[in-house]
Chains A and B, each alone.
Chain A
């Protein structure tokens, strides 16, 4: 068990170093921070009486979006690169299980996402402070939830990269994100007594399957609560963490299954 941890963390560290030494990825990170700052400035200019609300909302929104972009781009590219550049020829004959290699890549990406999150959060807090918006502990909880959402999307991106081309993997991962953000809407439609899903059995089955399979990413969005001052409890954050871990295991298990059978030509 501990030997496995050593192997996974060696790969995780290497994945982190790979991202940190890649100019394009570092550029992406810098651009992300820049985007957070500029969106804060612009949103602050637009409205003055609801300024703090907009700042909080817009900041969280852009950070979440950029985290997901980083998750998809890195998740897809870093796995693809190993296969395409054949570094796996060196890694896989070593005494390491293929699922450990995937776990290591995933863990390394979680580290990259955490660093990106901290940098963007720092820019966000700085902008908030410059407008005298008070810091609330729930903001940190909201950021933790953003990180979980990105982690979930990363696990999906790794899964898709284990068999699909980078472009397709990117599209599929984006699909998980977009559908996941709207599963709650579908759920409401399914529960309702009116609307297109009530009388069309095919559409209803598709919608039900979608709700069943896709993660509900709105669980990771608490922007409204933070703005309105509704407390976000630790039990809520904990439940979301479990939900996230469950989906990561689900995608991880699928990726391992594909990967174990895969040949490296």
Chain B
């Protein structure tokens, strides 16, 4: 079966006419997204995620390389009919009510009036806007606007959904709902490609990820591949009692991470966990958990972005200057 998205050697260079400077937003990126996959697109600010996504939906043309979406070109009408897209920070015709907005888009998707009347109220309920459907979008909060954006991305029951930071601006309940929604799309055989900075969500959802940094692909693969099946380290979570010593001083502990007041995670080589436990108990710590240590996605992303300065702020500055 052919892939939902194929990106081959994608390069996108922006020219800023005034300063005659080139910005290499994407510098040769290749990956494939299989049908039915949930695919996470990661990287610090200014990594080139939005630029790549704009190429995928035909808003921007590649400087070099090739993209195929659902087996066709991004501007193919047949492809667009089966595609749902949520842009980063979406802007709406905000003088419209959500029902009216979805009605306009429904017409563009070739849905009949009867179909629109049937589908739209259901969809608005699904994204939690059932109670707000008769107010102008102008008066919506940020999170409510984000929900409108998600609704319009699902309007045509697309085979492929491309979401640029779908969780941004959502409250914890909204985030939870979007996670469930993405999972339910997968259950129905849809492909979901999404970018996000909320790595816990990506870890929960994504079958595979690509990590981008300053336009370059740093890693790609399934999460088990990238994070490893585990490491040869163990982590012991300890609760300190009044007067207990510095846990880093316990014999065998290689390093310590503070989790919350009174709670620490001590990391030690796999073969040393028993002596560490004994020493900790003797020193008056309570043992909360012992587990095989695994790398988190956050650690992976941060390690790949290392050298980019604190969280890629330098790249973010470029983004601000260019807009």
Which residues of A line the B interface, CB within 8 A? 3, 6-7, 9-11, 13-14, 17-18, 21-22, 85-97, 263-265
Contact = CB atoms under 8 A, between A and B. Distances in A.
In the A-B complex, the 7 residue pairs with the closest CB atoms:
A10-B107, A95-B80, A89-B87, A93-B57, A21-B95, A94-B108, A264-B59
A88 B60 CA distance: 12
Contacts of A263: 59-61
Contacts of B87: 86, 89-90
Contacts of A87: 91-93
Interface in B63-84: 77-78, 80-81, 83
B108 A17 contact: no
A96 to B, nearest CB: 5
B109 A95 contact: yes
A94 B74 CA distance: 11
Given A11-B108, A91-B108, 15 more contacts: A6-B107, A7-B110, A14-B96, A18-B95, A21-B95, A85-B91, A86-B87, A87-B92, A90-B87, A90-B152, A93-B80, A95-B108, A95-B110, A97-B77, A264-B59
Contacts of B54: 264-265
B59 to A, nearest CB: 4
B228 interface: no
Given A7-B107, A14-B104, A92 B152 contact: no
A90 B145 CA distance: 13
Contacts of A22: 95
B90 interface: yes
B85 interface: yes
A67 B276 CA distance: 85
Contacts of B100: 17
Contact of B80 (A17, A86, A89, A94): A94
B212 to A, nearest CB: 18
Contacts of B95: 17-18, 21-22
B9 interface: no
Interface string B232-272: 00000000000000000000000000000000000000000
A95 B77 contact: yes
A259 B90 CA distance: 21
A123 to B, nearest CB: 27
Contacts of A21: 95
Given A95-B80, A97-B77, A90 B60 contact: no
B58 interface: yes
A11 B109 CA distance: 12
A246 B122 CA distance: 45
Contacts of B89: 86
Nearest to A261: B61
B57 to A, nearest CB: 4
B110 A18 contact: no
A265 B81 CA distance: 23
B218 to A, nearest CB: 25
Interface in B101-116: 103-105, 107-110
21 contacts: A3-B110, A6-B107, A6-B110, A10-B107, A17-B95, A17-B100, A22-B95, A85-B91, A87-B92, A87-B93, A89-B87, A90-B85, A90-B87, A90-B152, A92-B59, A93-B57, A93-B59, A94-B108, A94-B109, A263-B60, A263-B61
B14 A265 contact: yes
Contacts of A95: 77-78, 80-81, 108-110
Contact of B60 (A3, A13, A17, A264): A264
A263 B15 CA distance: 12
Contacts of B104: 10-11, 13-14
B59 A90 contact: no
A46 B187 CA distance: 78
Contacts of B93: 14, 18, 87
B139 to A, nearest CB: 13
A90 B110 contact: no
Nearest to A19: B95
Pick from A3, A94, A264 the residue with the most CB of B within 10 Å. A94
A93 B83 contact: yes
Nearest to A7: B108
A236 B194 CA distance: 59
A252 B183 CA distance: 44
Given A7-B108, A14-B104, A93 B91 contact: no
Contacts of B152: 90
Given A6-B110, A96-B108, A90 B92 contact: yes
A214 B92 CA distance: 37
B77 A89 contact: no
A92 B58 contact: yes
A94 B59 CA distance: 11
